[in-house]
Amino acid sequence: MNIIIIGCGKIGATIAEQLNNEGHRITIIDQNERVLRNIANKLDVLGINGNGAVMEVQREAGVENADILIAVTGSDEVNMLCCLIAKKNANLSTIARIRSPEYENEIEYLRKMLSISMVINPEKMAASEIVRLLEFPFAIEIDSFSRGRVDLIKIRLGEDAPILGIPLQELQKRASVIPLICVIERGNEVIIPRGSTCLQANDMISFIAKPQEAVTFARECRIPFEPNRSIFLIGGSRIAYYTAGMMNVPRHRFQLKLIEQNAERCTDFANRFENMTIINGDGSDQQLLIEEGIEKADAFVALTGIDEENIIMSMFAAKRSVPRRITKINRLDPTVVSEEMNVGSVVSTRMYTSDYVLRFVRGLERTRGVDIEALYTVANGKAEAAEFLVKENNPAYVGIPFAQLKLRKNVLVAAIFRGNEIIRPAGADYMQLNDRVVIITTDRGLHGLEDVLI
């Protein structure tokens, strides 16, 4: 597909890299010639130096022949204008990054008025992930399928986990709750498990389960955790704003404390959120953190705009025995940070956005009656989890028992959602029309269910 990306910041560059890896023809528009030169040296893309909101610049980029235009500059208004101009001059799909809280209640109106195909808000997506991580204090990562009915949860097994050394097919017979284990990360190795696979200490496993099943399984694995109540938020960023809004509801009962250097932002938060303690100060000041009671906190969430500062603060929180730490990383490689530093769970706005855009692009490419409902990169980008909606009776896979299907080697059919029923597939199970099917694979680039067959 021909794809134009306007804005080559951290998010634009990540989207370009992902789509370039999928074989699409990418053109990037940016006003910074040095940034364009750097990415052109790294990727097989065309760079156009100019203002993406100018019609002639879009025409130079080939907007008339483009399939998708993605506007991810630093300005919401410029992004919307880019999409509007593109739609007036070409028949294509448009994606706009709109992240200001000022537009939060008008997103659907703006999307319809400007004929924008999809609106992305990286900060709001990151905030949603943070809240889910706080709801499941034992999880390293969480992704949701079937519109939140089940989760793909990553945990690390300790030395004393009673499920170690036992083949997975035997565990199913012994334990009261053994969810479907989909991915095992062992050092640098990523394993799609089989029945004979045995788990080892320090394995990071990703499994599919309902929320209560996940809690029971974590306890059976002897992962120590307590509910998060007292939570420190460091940095009054957009992510902090959205996070506080999602957490500041009666059902959560969180005790929130925000530390922010900018007095005006502190006032804004105080006016918006009544049940929140707000401290005007430097969250990297270790003495201030001690005075504010960090040692009694259940969770510490570092959300400043500086990756290195967030890392250092989370490492200090770990030193002070804060059990739950969440660290926002945007510029640095999240894989290196999460593996080599004691910073807890890592959230990355650019990775969430890239996954979201990739799902949309693959959905546009569908030609086989299958829709991608959800798409996540797992195991630090070494595997994918995709949810498909079966829309047509394809004789290649619909109605045929899995025992008779010839699946590719590194593919696992993890779950089937049929109405209100959740099926963990066995050899005798099969897919039906309107099923939602979750596929886990280390082979990147699934576009439809036919791709999982030999």
Q: What is the CATH number of the domain that holds 402?
A: 3.30.70.1450
Q: 97 and 23 in one domain?
A: yes
Q: 365 and 341 in one domain?
A: no
pLDDT of residue 320: 95
pLDDT of residue 188: 85
> Which residue, 296, 331, 347, sits at the end of a domain?
347
Mean pLDDT of all residues in the chain?
Answer: 90
Encoding tokens for residue 171?
């565990």
Q: 377 and 337 in one domain?
A: no
Among 22, 17, 152, 133, which Cα is nearest to 444's? 22
Q: What is the CATH number of the domain that holds 6?
A: 3.40.50.720
Q: Give per-residue pLDDT as tens, 241-276.
A: 999 998 876 556 788 999 999 999 999 999 999 889
Query: For residue 306, what are the domain limits?
Result: 126-131+226-347
Q: 359 and 278 in one domain?
A: no
Q: 423 and 336 in one domain?
A: no
Lowest mean pLDDT among 18-22, 53-57, 126-130, 337-341: 337-341
Q: 443 and 379 in one domain?
A: yes
pLDDT of residue 364: 80
Phi and psi torsions of 265, nearest 5°? -65, -40
Q: 108 and 49 in one domain?
A: yes
Q: Give per-residue pLDDT as tens, 344-365.
A: 999 998 888 988 898 888 878 7
Q: Give per-residue pLDDT as tens, 384-399.
A: 888 898 888 888 899 9
Residue 108 falls inside a structural domain: yes
Residue 215 falls inside a structural domain: no
Residue 111 falls inside a structural domain: yes
Residue 251 falls inside a structural domain: yes
Full-model pTM: 0.87
Q: 402 and 301 in one domain?
A: no
> Which residue, 72, 89, 120, sits at the end of a domain?
120
Q: 285 and 376 in one domain?
A: no
Q: 362 and 314 in one domain?
A: no
CA gap 384, 439 in Å, rounded:
8
Q: 339 and 285 in one domain?
A: yes
Among 365, 366, 332, 368, which Cα is nearest to 347's? 332
Residue 141 falls inside a structural domain: no
pLDDT higher than 80, residue 366: no
Residue 324 falls inside a structural domain: yes
Residue 166 falls inside a structural domain: no
Residue 172 falls inside a structural domain: no
Q: Which of 137-146, 274-283, 368-377, 391-400 has the largest mean confidence?
A: 274-283
> Which residue, 94, 120, 146, sits at the end of a domain?
120
The tally of domains found in the chain comes to 3
Q: 264 and 286 in one domain?
A: yes
